[in-house]
């Protein structure tokens, strides 16, 4: 099936007489007739459900659909995007290990990697898009367990150069983990370009309607854990799980099996079946929405780039944008809905722009059907100095606009009337 059809049908095929829509199974537990049947599931969990922290039929529908959309072999839903990232790292890294990550990533992920994981002995070595391959290689040692990046990092709007970094990861046998939240599998499929694990904050485009916080980890099934000394705990028995050897038990899906049976089991950051139901409903229209988010965003930036009160526009779908050539290599069918603009007149003009918008609301959110705006310098990044902002790729006059699926004329009308009202203080 093509991606548009996977959005509609993926993960669920009713049997004779069953509901046509994937049902909401809001049950913690599953009944079995004999102790032998239950015992079998403890040995082979994929043959059925035991307890909804580990798996649930409604959650499975979403997991299966997102795995299909990404072209991976299996997925695990989590309570949030942050939980997905945390579990994705823990599955391969423990105290004494390190990971490599871009610093131009989602602020919450940056905090996790910079401040929280080090408290558990996992160190992050940060790089920027300017770090040379030779300098990255100097950061890699035998304890380096993964390389982390986002397909399209906002609000700096940096597109990930898959060919360059996946070659580096392959050369050293390091797992490449990509957060594809902003890209979405409708526009870019990281496994086709060398990623091994994909992460989503399903809170964003997958849900799309701003109803549920959630996340997913997708296993590409394309990484050889068996013959790689970096990942010894994939080939040695896990005593906490009756001596299972993950590469033997899971085969190509060893990573997601370990994520579920070690870390979802012990940490318990599972998605609720109700959220999985709503998120799955959202994914049914994902392909359609991404088409509209992308075309609306392109029209908005084309209009704003000529506007006298706009200093600059960042959108990787604009042919003269710094990130266009890289993004254009990997994206197809659009460049998503995230736009960053610099308002002439600095910090106060940017704040005024947000003040004067009438319909477009100010939210700490993105990737919603409703357009929304945020001024990072006075909200999400307000603790940072001028220099700190620059190192995150954020200027004081930057306004992040998440373009929704409304009529583009209405979006532009609101933006234009707000820009009109700004008086630039000399």
Closest CA to 156 of 369, 344, 381: 381
* Smaller CB separation from ligand PLP, 45 or 214: 214
Piece in contact with ligand PLP (CB under 6 A), picked from 93-101, 139-147, 176-184, 405-413: 176-184
Instruction: Determine the Cα–Cα distance for residues 313 and 19; give it in Å rounded to an integer.
Output: 48
Interaction between residue 181 and ligand PLP (CB under 6 A) = yes
**Whether the bond into 155 is cis, omega within 30 of 0:** yes
Give the single-character DSSP code of 95: T
Piece in contact with ligand PLP (CB under 6 A), picked from 121-129, 164-172, 201-209, 219-227: 201-209
Piece in contact with ligand PLP (CB under 6 A), picked from 32-40, 77-85, 276-284, 346-354: 77-85
Interaction between residue 109 and ligand PLP (CB under 6 A) = yes
Pick one of 179, 207, 368, 414: the residue that binds ligand PLP (CB under 6 A): 179
Interaction between residue 108 and ligand PLP (CB under 6 A) = yes
Interaction between residue 208 and ligand PLP (CB under 6 A) = no
Q: Write down the H helix ranges in 373-407.
A: 386-391
Interaction between residue 82 and ligand PLP (CB under 6 A) = yes
Residue nearest to ligand PLP (CB): 81
Interaction between residue 404 and ligand PLP (CB under 6 A) = no
Piece in contact with ligand PLP (CB under 6 A), picked from 78-86, 124-132, 235-243, 348-356: 78-86
Interaction between residue 293 and ligand PLP (CB under 6 A) = no
Instruction: Determine the Cα–Cα distance for residues 19 and 361; give it in Å rounded to an integer.
Output: 38
Interaction between residue 207 and ligand PLP (CB under 6 A) = no
Residue in the block written with tokens 């059907």: 369
- Rounded to 5°, angle at Cα 207 from 204 and 209: 90
Q: What is the DSSP string of 142-179?
A: TTEEEEEEESEETTTTEEP-HHHHHHHHHHHT-EEEEE
Pick one of 93, 159, 182, 297: the residue that binds ligand PLP (CB under 6 A): 182
Closest CA to 346 of 305, 317, 375, 382: 375
Quote the crossing angle between the two packed helices 408-421 and 346-356, to the nearest 10°. 130
By the criterion CB under 6 A, which residues form the site for ligand PLP? 80-82, 106, 108-109, 150, 179, 181-182, 201, 203-204, 213, 215
């Amino acid at each position: 099936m093509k991606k548009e059809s996977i959005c509609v049908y993926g993960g669920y095929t009713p049997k004779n007489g069953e509901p046509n829509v994937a049902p909401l199974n809001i049950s913690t537990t599953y009944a079995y007739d004999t102790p032998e049947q239950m015992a079998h599931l403890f040995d082979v969990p994929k043959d059925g459900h035991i307890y909804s922290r580990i798996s649930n039929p409604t959650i499975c529908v979403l997991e299966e659909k997102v795995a299909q959309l990404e072209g991976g072999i299996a997925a695990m839903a989590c309570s949030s995007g942050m939980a997905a990232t945390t579990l994705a790292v823990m599955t391969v890294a423990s105290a004494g290990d390190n990971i490599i990550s871009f610093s131009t990533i989602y602020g919450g992920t940056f905090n996790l990697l910079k401040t929280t994981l080090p408290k558990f002995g996992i160190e992050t070595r940060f790089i920027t898009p300017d770090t040379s391959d030779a300098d990255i290689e100097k950061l890699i040692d035998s304890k380096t367990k993964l390389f982390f990046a986002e397909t399209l990092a906002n609000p700096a709007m940096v597109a990930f150069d898959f060919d360059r970094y996946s070659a580096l990861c392959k050369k050293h046998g390091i797992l490449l983990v990509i957060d594809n939240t902003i890209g979405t599998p409708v526009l870019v499929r990281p496994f086709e370009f060398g990623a091994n694990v994909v992460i989503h904050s399903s809170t964003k485009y997958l849900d799309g309607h701003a109803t549920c916080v959630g996340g997913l980890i997708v296993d590409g099934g394309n990484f050889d854990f068996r013959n790689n000394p970096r990942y010894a705990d994939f080939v040695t028995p896990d005593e906490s799980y009756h001596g299972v050897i993950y590469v033997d038990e899971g085969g190509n899906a060893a990573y997601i099996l370990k994520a579920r049976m070690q870390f979802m089991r012990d940490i318990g950051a599972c998605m609720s079946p109700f959220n999985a139901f709503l998120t799955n409903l959202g994914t049914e229209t994902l392909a359609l929405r991404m088409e509209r988010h992308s075309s609306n965003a392109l029209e908005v930036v084309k209009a704003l780039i000529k506007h006298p009160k706009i200093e600059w526009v960042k959108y990787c779908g604009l042919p003269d944008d710094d990130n266009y050539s890289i993004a254009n290599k990997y994206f197809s069918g659009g460049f998503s809905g995230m736009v960053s603009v610099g308002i002439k007149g600095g910090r106060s003009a940017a704040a005024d722009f947000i003040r004067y918008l009438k319909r477009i609301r100010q939210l700490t959110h993105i990737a919603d059907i409703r357009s929304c705006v945020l001024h990072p310098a006075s909200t999400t990044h307000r603790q940072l100095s001028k220099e700190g902002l620059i190192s995150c790729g954020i200027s004081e006059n930057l306004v992040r606009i998440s373009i929704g699926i409304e009529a583009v004329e209405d979006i532009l009308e609101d933006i234009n009337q707000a820009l009109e009202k700004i008086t630039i203080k000399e």
